[in-house]
Amino acid sequence: MSTPSGETTYYGEVEQSERLGAWSGKSVPRKEDKRLLKGQGAFVDDLWMHRQGHVHFVRSPHAHARIISIEVSRAEAVPGVYATLTGEEVGELQQPFFQMAPEPAGLMRDYCMAVGKARYMGEPVAAVLAESAELARDAAALIEVVYEPLEVIVDGIATIERQAPVLHEEIGSNVAWHGVYDYGDVDWALEHADHVVRIDRLHFHRFSSTPLETTGALVNWDPGTGVVEFRSNNQMPMFAAMFIGPAIGLGIDHMQFSSQDIGGGFGIKITSYTYLTALALLSRKAGRPVKWSESRWEHLAASAHGNERTFLDIEVPVMSDGTILGFKVRAFDDAGAYLRYEPLGAVIWSQVVPGNYRFKHIRVDYTETLTNKCPVGPNRGYSRLQHLWLIERIVDIVAKELGFDRVALRKLNYVQPEEFPYETPNGCVYDSGDYPAMLEQALELIDYEGARARQLAGAGSGKRIGIGIGSTLDSGTNNFGQSRIINSALPFSGNGEAAVVRLDLYGEITVTIGTSPQGQGHETTAAQVTADILGCSPDLVHVVAGYNKAANTYVGFSGTYASQFAVTGLGAVMGAAERLRGEIVKVGACMLGAEESDIELADGFVRLAANPEAAIPFIGIAATVFANVAELPGELADSVTLNCRYVYRPPFTVPDHETKRGKLTLTYASQVHAAVVELDEETGQVTILDYAAVDECGRKVNPKIVEGQVHGATGHGIGAALYETFEYDSDGQLLNSTFGDYHAATSLDVPHIATGEVECPSPFTPNGAKGMGEGGGAPLSTIASAIEDALPPGAHVVYDSHNNAERVYELLRSAAAAGPRGVEVISR
């Protein structure tokens, strides 16, 4: 296969399984729902261990302060208090966490609690273990912490200035990472373009996920075996192990992770390893299991936030026909106080360098900075949604400033259907798609022409109508080799996921997977593909719920994240099921005295294709292999286990550290959203009148699950666009860390979502599916686009991804103010 230039070899198309179809592709009811809808799910707070104690973390009220002393004696004297743990102790018991950043940021000494200094409001400085959660909280109030407040920096750009207070003295500055991503020749493009559109500043705000279940864990350090059991809702346990193990001297064989049901994750629960570490240390000290359930304010203030990013000095070269040649930008990403998953965000965005467009010349000068705010972590659409929002803002602003129709401009610049697989300027390969068809469908769903008519008819009514479009990508299945773009010394590349499918003693088909689902329906979809391959009903397939390291298989990056289960997770299940099928066929052929080619699997039987009456149920195969093995020839008996493990491995290579080029991800699901909004001129209130979400994620394994994910991602994005934002004051105090002030979108805030679909099977995956569920933050782009469309002529550009009524009111007033609009056009 070749690129449009005819030079590059892609991965090559993958042979797609012909066995899928009887169950895959159908909206099979979710197996998980039987227990979840009856209130029989098992979440962290449902767990209990004999002798367990409850933990309360004492948190810093200061955003930046030296810890002079911590006095715990009054708390420890309270009857029922088992133990305390302070940062000072942690400094002795724990090695700093492994850092992915190169030096100097790689020198950061990050612990599970503040050691010597607190660097964000809400950072744990001590912990109390007591016989009840209430007692632990009361006792925590008796711990005396003496602080010396230090100067605070919360501005993600000003933090790199020389006079800014330095968070981590060992690093010497607040720059966590800096690099220039330079593709094509942007200087040439700016010189030769007919127009250059300059945008001063765009800002992507800080928000988070609000899972129903906050972070929590029940941890027991067994003093006899030395094994630490982590029953938690961490969503990427093997990643957590990579940090916890070296920090407190545990091998992977001494860390047991498990979870059953997880009440939402969205990425935010990946970085809970700091809390797991603290709980392990407390358990060892107290000699008893310890349990912790995060309160809502703790979750909002001190778990992890999504990345905040500011884009400065954006220059966009545009030809007179509307062809956008690319763009140039300086990006500042605010990582907060520590690098808990960062600086991976400094490269993850480059999976989608040109967005959905054929931009060829792109330079992004990227700086990741540290501030006195909650550390960031992956958050639905991690690091890509910020960049995709920038690109969609660029397209809309170019259209408005140069007088192009925003629909036509998109269609002109989109990667065209016939260009797939499409190689981006940085060497990524978009597998398949049809963005123009998706746009057409989205516009139809909102009655675009009708909306334009309503817009005209509404003029002068005090309500301004706007129509918005957001085109985004959900790149799924990471190549961890991209981490080497930020740090060439990191020993990671490729990716994989593992699964085991076995035929058990009495003919049961059991599947275990390496992932830790949080609502994505893995039990159902894994059962669907297994049923297809083994010729049985999904009802006969038992997919073990949740994750248990002792019972399930895993690889280094097992977990649920990065929109990859449909590819890596199901790829592993399919591989393992195929292996099991091969063994079943071998044994069945032997027992039926036939050739393997004469055998078919159907309805839970092994049978002769030519004579279905000659059939053996799966239990017969299992019983023979496990209990009547002398009936089989020795060679066959030695070669089958009916317990088949498979590791799915996408065909990645190692990206180039110097050029920052490579195949960073395998699949590219896409979204085109469209919305009609109404702005109230007197209040700035935004009302969504119509909303459409068109999704393309290859071949769907379970359409109903896909639709649910689309609804969830859309609701999350609408919430972020209009309601959800973290507000810090200049002292680093988070001003909205409860649901009283942080307005997470509810069903009352999310309008009816009309959904549409386009199916473009991925040629690179064995089931034609693409990872999906993160959604690329399309609503953030769409709402910003719609608001801008509704603004009067002369208004400032929509410069922020969060547009509450106050900000929209200011934008509406900006037209009359006739001040700077944040944009200028230079035409030749």
Partner 1 sequence: MIVSGQASVPAPREQLWAVLSDPAALAQALPRVDLVSIEDGHRFSAVARPVTALGETSVALDFEIVEQRPGEYVRIVASGRSGENLLALSIALELADDGERTAASWRAEIALRGVLSSLLQRGIGELLRDQVESVLAAGAALSGADRGR
From the list 33, 741, 806, 824, which residue makes contact with partner 1 (rule: CB under 8 A)?
741
Helix or strand or coil: residue 659? coil
Tokens of 4: 């449009």
Binding to partner 1, residues 34-93 (CB under 8 A): 58-62
Q: Where are the alpha helices (DSSP H) in 11-125?
A: 33-36, 73-76, 87-93
Instruction: Tell which one of 76, 88, 731, 757 touches partner 1 (CB under 8 A).
Output: 731
- Among 208, 665, 667, 737, contact with partner 1 (rule: CB under 8 A): 737
Q: How many residues bind partner 1 (CB under 8 A)?
A: 22
Report the residue number, 112 or 499, with the smaller CB distance to partner 1: 112
Distances in Å between the Cα of 490 and the Cα atoms of 106, 493, 665, 710 are 11, 9, 18, 34
Q: Which is nearer to partner 1, 122 or 771 (CB)?
A: 122
Work out which of 297, 389, 492, 618 binds partner 1, going by CB under 8 A.
Answer: 297
Instruction: Rank residues 194 and 727 by Cβ distance to partner 1 and give the closer one.
Output: 727
Out of 233, 733, 781, 785, point to the residue binding partner 1 (CB under 8 A): 733
- Residue 425 CB coordination number (10 Å): 19
CB nearer partner 1, residue 121 or residue 584: 121
Least Å from the CB of residue 336 to partner 1: 17
Question: Which range binds partner 1 by CB under 8 A, 181-189, 222-230, 734-742, 782-790?
Answer: 734-742
Shortest reach from residue 740's CB to partner 1, in Å: 5
**Which CB atom, from 86 or from 782, has the smaller least distance to partner 1?**
86
Closest CA to 469 of 520, 399, 541, 530: 399
Q: How far apart are CA 173 and CA 92, in angstroms?
A: 25
Binding segment toward partner 1, per CB under 8 A, in 22-30, 108-116, 470-478, 738-746: 738-746
The footprint of partner 1 on residues 95-134 (CB under 8 A) is 121-122
Q: Is 31 in the site for partner 1 (CB under 8 A)?
A: no
Length of the chain: 828
* Residue 385: strand, helix, or coil: helix
Closest distance of CB 305 from partner 1, Å: 14
Amino acid at 28: V
Tokens of 807: 């900000």
Binding range to partner 1, per CB under 8 A, among 136-144, 370-378, 593-601, 819-827: 136-144
Query: Segment 167-186, which members bind partner 1 (CB under 8 A)?
Result: none
Q: Which range in 135-143, 434-442, 551-559, 813-821 contacts partner 1 by CB under 8 A?
A: 135-143
Q: Max Cα separation, the chain? A: 91
CB of 296 to partner 1, least distance (A): 10
Scanning 436-444, 559-567, 577-585, 733-741 for contacts with partner 1 by CB under 8 A, the matching segment is: 733-741
b/e burial code for range 700-721 (CB count within 10 A of at least 16 → b): bbbeebbbbbbebbbbbbbbbb
Interface with partner 1, residue 744, by CB under 8 A: no
Return the number of the residue (661 or 802) whose C-beta is nearest partner 1.
802
As beta bridge partners, residue 579 has none
DSSP state of 232: E
* Site for partner 1 contains 303 (CB under 8 A): no
Among 141, 408, 489, 816, binds partner 1 (CB under 8 A): 141
Q: Does 280 bind partner 1 (CB under 8 A)?
A: no
For 687, the token pair is 């009302």
Beta carbon nearer to partner 1, 138 or 419: 138
Cis peptide bond prior to 421, omega within 30° of 0? yes
Q: Give the type of residue at 320.
A: S
Instruction: Give the residue with the Cβ less far from partner 1, 141 or 609.
Output: 141
For residue 675, list its beta bridge partners: 468, 691
Nearer to partner 1, 323 or 736 (CB): 736
Angle between helices 406-413 and 384-402 (to 10 degrees): 120
Judged on CB neighbours under 10 Å (0-12, 13-18, 19+), 804 is: middle
- Choosing from 323, 493, 537, 736, the residue that interacts with partner 1 (CB under 8 A) is 736
Nearest to partner 1 of 641, 736 (CB atom)? 736
Residue 734 touches partner 1, criterion: CB under 8 A: yes
Q: What is the four-CA torsion angle of 161, 167, 170, 175, rounded to 10 degrees?
A: -40
Please give, one letter per residue, the 3-state secondary structure of 474-537: EEEEECHHHHHHHCCCCCCCCCCEEEEEEECCCCCEEEEECCCCCCCCHHHHHHHHHHHHHCCC
Q: Using alpha carbons, select from 393, 463, 402, 315 the residue that is nearest to residue 799.
A: 393
Packed helices 237-248 and 273-286: angle between N→C axes, nearest 10 degrees? 50
Would you say 90 or 301 has its CB closer to partner 1? 301
Least distance between partner 1 and beta carbon 128 (Å): 11
Report how far Cα 105 is from the mean position of its chain's Cα atoms: 24
| Binding piece for partner 1, criterion CB under 8 A, among 337-345, 465-473, 481-489, 726-734 | 726-734
Q: Is 140 in the site for partner 1 (CB under 8 A)?
A: yes
Closest to 78 (Cα-Cα) out of 126, 145, 144, 143: 143
Tokens 């004492």 belong to which residue? Answer: 58
Contact region for partner 1 (CB under 8 A) — 577-585, 672-680, 737-745, 757-765? 737-745
Q: Which residues bind partner 1 (CB under 8 A)?
A: 58-62, 121-122, 137, 140-141, 297, 301, 729, 731, 733-738, 740-741
